[in-house]
């Protein structure tokens, strides 16, 4: 059948902050497909043919206690949390819980009542003790760079009977419900998960919409519907297979040859541009969302060179973000001058305000004022299989820029993600690249995870004014419009320290075969894919 040209309609999707007193935070454009080919119906009862999804982001672990990365993509679909984002909501609502709320006006006590009759996929009972066990073990195991850093405001958990859980906080935190909605807070079966060790047998016991039927590390995860699931999600398919690719080109080739049905992570800029040009006759729909993903460099303060403030600031003065965005990413990303991306409350352009356009002369003066006259030797690390095929060219471009200045001598090194994580958690890298997909769309989540003794980077960054004053002050505010000053001040501290160097802010692209529905609804506010929203169209 020959269809009329595709027409794209923009719909505004509101993204909100993570407080009870929610206010509009940003406008994110989502794209829905309208065709002139008649009406398509979706198989809402679920198709027997599994939907196959491709991504370049394979899990680093299958245990929620050990992951603060995009392993969450898998977790969201096989584990369950007390709260989630029901029916496209932008604020947390009940999932394993029947209801949750603060019980006081100071945001210090948060109470949840579970649904009755919950079980894990193996039939074991899921009750309030399971919830307490799951979250307590995150703090007890305390993996370096793991999700324990999200629980800084939690003091203790109280269980009342089988269904009631009460969270007592050390300090007011109106954002705590959003923490409970992250896949890090997935509920695990105490019988199958050690209280003191990470599970490493390649299996999962959860209570989410799917069960993990089989798993091949770095290759494939097969999900089948969980008949025991009780929650808000309504599956529109019976089975999903996730295939993990090493690069974008092979993933897109698989999409074009219909070996996979949809991709949601790691599309290369060249592939996006190609799909944009040929989507009307390719049989592939490209769904675009303005994104709040960021890319940045991390400096290890223990390294003899990266530990010097002058070296970090000189590097910040040389890096040309616009060249990276245009030459490497074909303008599918935009330059970023703050750790808080554009579109979120309190966003600034601090690095541009302080350093301006790239300047070798200014960078040379920064170094000479610190008594550094030799070329600075630096080793920059990146991961080969996490953030898409442009990562290597991006670091080659950074190396070129730094060395062309005559001020730096750069060595590039790389590893696959699973071993890359181990390296930065052990503090092995002088300078390394990271990407960040938000836990929730709030400026807090672009600062808090990276500071403090225990953070998502495995590299302690005390920042006492941020951790002891600015963040606690902001968390007392239910109205996030009132936290601008705190986050502007926090971002200026990050600029002054130059421990983290923002590079670019991305967009979200989902490419799918034309017979797949639900791609435009499948990303939650944290850009995690809810596989249960996908379905296969059954008629024209």
List, for residues 444-461, the tens digit of each pLDDT value: 999 999 999 888 888 899
Q: Quick check: 19 pLDDT over 80?
A: no
List own/partner pairs for 360-369 with CB under 8 A and 24 or more apart.
360/318, 360/405, 360/406, 360/407, 362/317, 363/314, 363/315, 363/317, 363/318, 363/405, 363/407, 364/314, 364/405, 364/407, 366/310, 366/313, 366/314, 366/317, 367/310, 367/311, 367/314, 367/407, 369/310
- Position with higher pLDDT, 497 vs 481: 497
For residue 33, the model assigns a pLDDT of 33
| Spatial distance between the Cα atoms of 262 and 282, rounded to a whole number of angstroms | 14
Over 80: is that where the pLDDT of 14 sits?
no
DSSP 115: P
Average pLDDT, the chain: 88
Q: Return the top range by mean pLDDT from 362-366, 473-477, 518-522.
A: 362-366
pLDDT at 16: 31
Stretch among 32-36, 168-172, 278-282, 478-482 having the lowest mean pLDDT = 32-36
R_g of the chain, CA atoms, integer Å: 23
Residues 189 and 41: their CA atoms lie apart, in Å, by 38
The pLDDT assigned to 292 comes to 85
Confidence bin at 48 (pLDDT 50/70/90): low
CA 482 – CA 503 distance, rounded (Å): 27
Is residue 43's pLDDT more than 60? no
pLDDT at 105: 83
User: Residue 471 contacts by C-beta under 8 Å, 6 or more apart in sequence?
Assistant: 444, 447, 448, 486, 490
For the residues 111-117, what does the mean pLDDT come to? 98
**Confidence at residue 447, expressed as pLDDT on a 0 to 100 scale:** 95
Q: Does the pLDDT value for residue 35 go beyond 90?
A: no
Could you tell me the two tokens for 120? 């894990």
pLDDT score for 526: 80
In whole angstroms, what is the distance from residue 65 CA to residue 192 CA?
13
Is residue 136 exposed (0-12), middle (13-18) or buried (19+ Cβ within 10 Å)? middle
Maximum pairwise Cα distance, the chain: 72
What pLDDT, in 10s, does the model give residues 218-251?
999 999 999 999 999 999 999 999 999 988 889 9
pLDDT score of 39 more than 60: no
Residue 373: its pLDDT value, please?
96
Instruction: Please say if the pLDDT value at position 490 is more than 70.
Output: yes
Full-model pTM: 0.74
User: 281 pLDDT band (50/70/90 cuts)?
Assistant: low
Residue partners of 2: CB distance under 8 A and separation at least 6: none
């Amino acid at each position: 059948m020959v269809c009329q040209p595709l027409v794209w309609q923009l719909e505004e999707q509101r993204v909100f902050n993570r407080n009870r007193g929610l206010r509009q935070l940003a406008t994110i454009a989502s794209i829905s497909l309208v065709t002139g080919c008649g009406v398509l119906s979706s198989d809402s009862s679920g198709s027997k043919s599994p939907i196959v999804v491709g991504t370049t982001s394979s899990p680093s672990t299958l245990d929620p206690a050990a992951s603060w990365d995009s392993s969450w993509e898998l977790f969201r679909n096989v584990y369950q949390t007390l709260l989630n984002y029901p029916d496209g909501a932008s604020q947390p609502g009940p999932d394993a819980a029947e209801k949750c709320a603060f019980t006081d006006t100071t945001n210090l006590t948060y109470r949840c009542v579970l649904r009755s009759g919950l079980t894990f996929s193996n039939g074991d009972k899921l009750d309030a003790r399971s919830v307490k066990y799951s979250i307590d073990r995150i703090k007890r195991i305390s993996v370096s760079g793991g999700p324990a850093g999200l629980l800084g405001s939690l003091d203790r958990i109280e269980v009342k009977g089988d269904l009631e859980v009460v969270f007592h906080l050390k300090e007011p935190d109106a954002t705590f419900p959003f923490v409970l909605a992250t896949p890090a807070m997935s509920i695990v079966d105490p019988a199958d998960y050690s209280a003191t060790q990470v599970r490493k047998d390649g299996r999962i016991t959860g209570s989410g919409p799917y069960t993990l039927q089989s798993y091949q590390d770095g290759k494939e995860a097969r999900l089948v519907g969980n008949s025991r699931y009780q929650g808000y999600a309504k599956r529109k398919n019976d089975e999903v297979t996730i295939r993990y690719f090493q690069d974008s080109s092979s993933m897109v080739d698989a999409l074009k040859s219909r070996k996979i049905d949809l991709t949601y992570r790691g599309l290369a800029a060249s592939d996006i541009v190609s799909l944009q040009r040929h989507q009307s006759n390719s049989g592939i729909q490209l769904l675009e969302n303005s994104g709040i993903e960021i890319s940045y460099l991390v400096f290890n303060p223990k390294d003899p060179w990266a530990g010097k403030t002058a070296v970090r600031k000189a590097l910040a003065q040389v890096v040309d973000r616009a060249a990276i965005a245009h030459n490497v990413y074909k303008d599918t990303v935009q330059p970023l001058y703050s750790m808080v991306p554009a579109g979120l409350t309190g966003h600034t352009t601090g690095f541009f305000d302080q350093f301006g356009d790239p300047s070798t002369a200014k960078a040379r003066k920064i170094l000479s004022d610190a008594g550094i006259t030799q070329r600075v030797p630096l080793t920059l690390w990146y991961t080969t299989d996490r953030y898409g095929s442009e990562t290597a060219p991006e670091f080659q471009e950074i190396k070129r820029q730094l060395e062309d200045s005559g001020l730096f001598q750069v060595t590039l090194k790389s590893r696959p993600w699973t071993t890359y994580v181990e390296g930065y958690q052990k503090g092995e890298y002088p300078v390394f690249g990271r990407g960040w997909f938000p836990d929730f769309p709030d400026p807090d989540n672009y600062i808090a995870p990276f500071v403090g003794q225990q953070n998502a980077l495995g590299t302690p960054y005390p920042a006492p004014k941020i951790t002891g004053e600015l963040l606690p002050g902001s968390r007392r505010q239910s109205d996030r419009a009132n936290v601008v000053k705190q986050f502007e001040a926090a971002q200026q501290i990050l600029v002054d320290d130059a421990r983290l160097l923002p590079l670019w802010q991305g967009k979200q692209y989902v490419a799918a075969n034309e017979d797949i529905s639900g791609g435009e609804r499948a990303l939650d506010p944290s850009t995690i894919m809810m596989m249960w929203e996908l379905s296969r169209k059954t008629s024209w």
